[in-house]
């Protein structure tokens, strides 16, 4: 049997801080190739990606897993009580950067897939898509894999993303969708002047203050059946002005909106530009707006895929996971354009933290759950 704990430890020891591959995909390709998976590196613009398939190409029933081996930086290494890339095991936990997010998830679905095809070769195919660019810009990771799959005639019928999905207790939650994310940067340009003669200046700080106050007070919606209300957060206001007797020439601000399926990134970008235009008209201060849409809101309606995952969790843990669309973005936002997708993984409590760690028993539980999902799908 493939040990998911040992595989997690081996992956944690690979220093794969985005965009470095660190040996993680090389390790996985060797393991999967040895189990009969057809593997191909799908690197793009320096981003490392791995595609692996067991079974016939284009088979009608193809279950997919998606995940990433890249990790965020360790931060202050001196603040860690262990080597961030040492994969120490103590107190029932495996410690290290990426232990939760998400080398344990990758190890669990790789181990489950390898053992499944060896023990009960399915009437169908299994595809694993593993990227090294989820924690970075994400433009050449899962997106590149899906682009290559479309060109090569490869397709998944359904996909599970192995991101940590449970807030506090193993098995309590799966993600059936995600909120969208749009960021906006505002630059107000006025006329610099002496504070004693404000009538000779056009104060961009006042304009930005009016704009951000108006945005912060907005109620975007009341939520939907599967989504909480959309939120807008002010993230910075900056003038770079070191003195108090000068009205500066410019001032900047930024906001981020996490939105539900009542909106699109484009509709919210238009709203932000309209609000900025209103304030510019009221104050006479020019305000420019730049926006970036990181992902659209999406939902995989409860159905066969979510029921399959819920049944596997209940059989293994005696817990029925709730459906959620909370949290940040994940690569499921790209997979949802390819096939139905849900997310289920470990407890997310320490992801990205100093002394990131995963309960060892949970890694084994996750492998067992993924094995039950495969068995149920190909039954």
- Which token pair is 237? 């206001």
pLDDT tens for the chain, 379 residues: list them: 999 999 999 999 999 999 999 999 999 999 999 999 999 999 999 999 999 999 988 667 999 999 999 999 999 999 999 999 999 999 999 999 999 999 999 999 999 999 999 999 999 999 999 999 999 989 999 999 999 999 999 999 999 999 999 999 999 999 999 999 999 999 999 999 999 999 999 999 999 999 999 999 999 999 999 999 999 999 999 999 999 999 999 999 999 999 999 999 999 999 999 999 999 999 999 999 999 999 999 999 999 999 999 999 999 999 999 999 998 889 999 999 999 999 999 999 999 999 999 999 999 999 999 999 999 999 9
pTM: 0.90
133 has catalytic annotation: no
Beta carbons of 281 and 202 less than 8 angstroms apart: no
**Residue 70 annotated in active site:** yes
Phi–psi pair at 84, nearest 5 degrees: -60, -25
Pick the catalytic residue from 10, 29, 70, 359. Answer: 70
Per DSSP, which regions of 139-240 are E strands?
158-161, 173-175, 177-178, 180-189, 193-194, 231-238
Distances from the Cα of 270 to the Cαs of 217, 251, 285, in angstroms? 18, 21, 19
Determine which one of 10, 133, 134, 140 is catalytic: 134
Domains plus CATH for the chain? 4-178+297-377 (3.40.630.10), 180-295 (3.30.70.360)
Question: Are the C-beta atoms of 298 and 339 separated by less than 8 Å?
Answer: no
């Amino acid at each position: 049997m493939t040990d998911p704990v040992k595989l997690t430890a081996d992956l944690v020891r690979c220093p794969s801080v985005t965009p470095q591959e660190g040996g993680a995909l090389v390790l996985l390709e060797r393991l999967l190739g040895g189990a009969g998976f057809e593997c191909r590196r799908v690197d793009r613009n320096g981003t490392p990606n791995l595609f692996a398939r067991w079974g016939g190409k284009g088979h009608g029933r193809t279950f997919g897993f998606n995940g990433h081996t890249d990790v965020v930086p360790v931060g202050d290494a001196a603040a860690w009580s262990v080597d961030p890339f040492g994969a120490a095991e103590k107190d029932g936990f495996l410690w290290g950067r990426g232990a939760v997010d998400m080398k344990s998830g990758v190890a669990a679905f790789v181990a489950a897939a390898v053992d499944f095809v060896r023990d009960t070769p399915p009437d169908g195919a299994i595809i694993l898509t593993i990227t090294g660019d989820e924690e970075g810009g994400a433009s050449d990771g899962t997106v590149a894999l899906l682009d290559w799959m479309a060109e090569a005639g490869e397709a998944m019928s359904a996909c599970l993303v192995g991101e940590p999905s449970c807030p506090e207790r193993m098995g309590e939650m799966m993600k059936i969708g995600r909120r969208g994310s749009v960021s906006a940067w505002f630059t107000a340009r006025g006329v610099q002047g002496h504070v004693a003669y404000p009538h000779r200046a056009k104060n961009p700080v006042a304009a930005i203050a009016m704009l951000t106050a108006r945005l912060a007070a907005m109620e975007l919606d009341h939520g939907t059946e599967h989504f909480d209300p959309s939120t807008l957060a002010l993230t910075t206001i900056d003038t770079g002005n070191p003195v108090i007797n000068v009205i500066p020439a410019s001032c900047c601000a930024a906001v981020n909106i996490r939105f539900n399926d009542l909106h699109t990134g484009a509709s919210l970008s238009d709203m932000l530009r309209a609000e900025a235009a209103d304030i510019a008209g009221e104050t006479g201060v020019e305000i420019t707006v730049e926006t970036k849409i990181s992902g659209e809101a999406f939902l995989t309606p409860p159905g066969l895929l979510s029921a399959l995952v819920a049944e596997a969790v209940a059989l293994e843990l005696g817990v029925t996971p709730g459906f959620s669309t909370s949290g940040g973005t994940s690569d499921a936002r790209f997979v949802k354009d390819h096939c139905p997708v849900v997310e289920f993984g470990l407890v997310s409590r320490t992801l990205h933290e100093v002394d990131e760690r995963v309960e060892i028993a949970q890694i084994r539980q996750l492998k067992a759950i993924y094995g039950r999902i495969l068995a149920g799908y190909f039954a």
